[in-house]
């Protein structure tokens, strides 16, 4: 009997190991996109995901993998152009390499972009004066001549950024990029559930205090608030309603409740009237205290 159990266990391990190997091979061979003559595989994509910090960023890109794939496409296009022009990473000593946060490919890209945008954009005097006039209320009463150099540097850097963005648009436009949209959809992870406008209407007529987090899945502070709100919602399930609403999917609500910064936490009393709001992240203790103030029992 013991030998039979061992044999069965060995078979199971072989099957599981085979599945792992097969999955790894599939990831290595599955092509998510082809950029000119270069492929981006699922294995490469997963490798880039693993590098992202904090974990919240990884979760966001797993839900919208197309955004990370676009970054990889741009990276490959820039490397391809750099190689065409014979650009290589700057020579570094061992100590320099140890201190540098950039990979060899990233160093090449930085070097290439630096050469591509080596000529500083021209900034005319009238541009400086126009900027000063438009933003004079933010100059702390300083005269133009005192801030002219800073304004010039700011305008020049903005022009440089615009030039880079335009270059990337043209680069992408002239490249042959094929994206496997079907596979991209398959690897996308379902985002966290969000409440709807109907959920809000029902909550405001429930006779209980309501806390609404007006936020977005694409906002790191909003996602950092989720575990806190989940805890509060669970602990006060019988006494209050806790909702999370994505302002990008419910823009009319964002306008109605004048939400301009994410996250915005709005507290409603048991009659459905706004009692308090807080912009930005809020600690659990303060949330609980505010809920008690507007009607929940201890």
> Which neighbouring-strand residues pair with 177?
35
Total domains in the chain come to 2
Q: Kindly report each contact of residues 73-78 with a partner whose C-beta sits within 8 Å and lies 24 or more positions away, as own/partner.
A: 73/33, 73/35, 73/40, 73/172, 73/177, 74/168, 74/171, 74/172, 75/105, 75/109, 76/35, 76/38, 76/40, 77/35, 77/36, 77/168, 77/171, 77/172, 77/175, 78/109, 78/112, 78/113, 78/171
Asked if residue 15 belongs to a domain, the reply is no
The residue from 161, 189, 217 where one domain ends is 189
Q: Is residue 259 part of a domain?
A: yes
| Structural domain of 74 | 29-120+151-189
From residue 146, alpha-carbon distances to 121, 135, 149, 216 in Å are 22, 14, 8, 41
99 and 64 in a single domain? The answer is yes
Same domain, 222 and 266: yes
User: Does residue 33 sit in the same domain as residue 103?
Assistant: yes
Cis amide linkage into residue 239, ω under 30° from 0: no
Q: Are both 213 and 115 inside the same structural domain?
A: no
Q: Is residue 17 part of a domain?
A: no
* Residues 185 and 203 both lie in one domain: no
Alpha helices in the chain, H assignment, sequence order: 2-29, 42-51, 55-63, 65-84, 94-99, 104-116, 125-134, 144-174, 181-187, 197-204, 220-235, 251-256, 284-293
CATH number of the domain residue 262 falls in = 3.40.30.10
Q: What is the pLDDT of residue 18?
A: 44
Shared-domain flag, residues 155 and 277: no
Are residues 177 and 244 both part of a single domain?
A: no
CATH code for the domain of 48: 1.10.4030.10
Same domain, 245 and 166: no
**177 and 230 part of one domain:** no
Dump pLDDT digits (tens) for 9-32.
444 444 444 444 444 455 567 999
Among 170, 189, 208, identify where a domain stops.
Answer: 189
pLDDT in tens, the chain (298 residues): 544 444 444 444 444 444 444 444 555 679 999 999 999 999 999 999 999 998 999 999 999 999 999 999 999 999 999 999 999 877 766 665 556 678 889 999 999 999 999 999 999 999 999 999 999 998 989 999 999 999 999 999 999 999 999 999 999 999 999 999 999 999 999 998 899 999 999 999 999 999 999 999 989 999 999 999 999 999 999 999 999 999 999 999 999 999 999 999 999 999 999 999 999 999 999 999 999 999 866 4
Q: Let me know: does 32 contact 40? Beta carbons within 8 Å.
A: yes
- Are 105 and 232 part of one and the same domain? no
Same domain flag for 169 and 203: no
The pairing of beta strand 31-35 with beta strand 241-246: unpaired
Residue 164 covered by a domain: yes
Q: Is residue 240 located within the same domain as residue 107? A: no
- Kindly report whether the peptide bond that precedes residue 84 is cis, defined as omega within 30 degrees of 0: no
- Whole-model pTM: value is 0.75
Q: Let me know if residue 43 belongs to a domain.
A: yes
């Amino acid at each position: 009997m013991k030998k039979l159990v061992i044999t069965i266990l060995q078979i199971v391990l072989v099957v599981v190991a085979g599945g792992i190997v097969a999955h790894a091979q599939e990831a290595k061979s599955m092509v998510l996109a082809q950029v000119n003559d270069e492929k981006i595989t699922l294995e490469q994509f997963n490798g880039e995901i693993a590098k992202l910090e904090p974990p919240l960023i990884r979760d966001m890109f797993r839900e919208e993998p197309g955004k990370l794939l676009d970054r990889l496409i741009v990276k490959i296009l820039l490397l391809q152009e750099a190689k065409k022009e014979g650009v290589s990473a700057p020579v570094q000593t061992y100590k320099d390499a140890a201190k540098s946060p950039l990979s060899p490919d990233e160093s090449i890209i930085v070097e290439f972009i630096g050469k591509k945008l080596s000529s500083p954009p021209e900034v005319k005097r009238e541009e400086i004066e126009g900027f000063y006039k438009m933003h004079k209320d933010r100059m702390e009463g300083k005269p133009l001549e005192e801030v002219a150099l800073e304004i010039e540097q700011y305008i020049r850097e903005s022009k440089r950024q615009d030039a880079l963005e335009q270059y990337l648009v043209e680069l992408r436009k002239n490249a042959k990029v094929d994206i496997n949209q079907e596979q991209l959809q398959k690897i996308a992870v379902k985002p966290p559930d969000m409440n709807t406008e109907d959920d809000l209407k029902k909550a405001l007529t429930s006779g209980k205090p309501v806390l609404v987090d007006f936020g977005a899945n694409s906002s790191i502070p909003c996602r950092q608030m989720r575990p806190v709100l989940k805890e509060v919602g669970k602990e006060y399930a019988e006494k209050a309603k806790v909702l999370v609403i994505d302002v990008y999917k419910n823009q009319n609500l964002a306008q109605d409740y004048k939400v301009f910064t994410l996250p915005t936490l709005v507290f409603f009393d048991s009659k459905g009237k706004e009692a308090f709001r807080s912009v930005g992240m809020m600690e659990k203790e303060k949330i609980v205290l505010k809920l008690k103030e507007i009607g929940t029992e201890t």
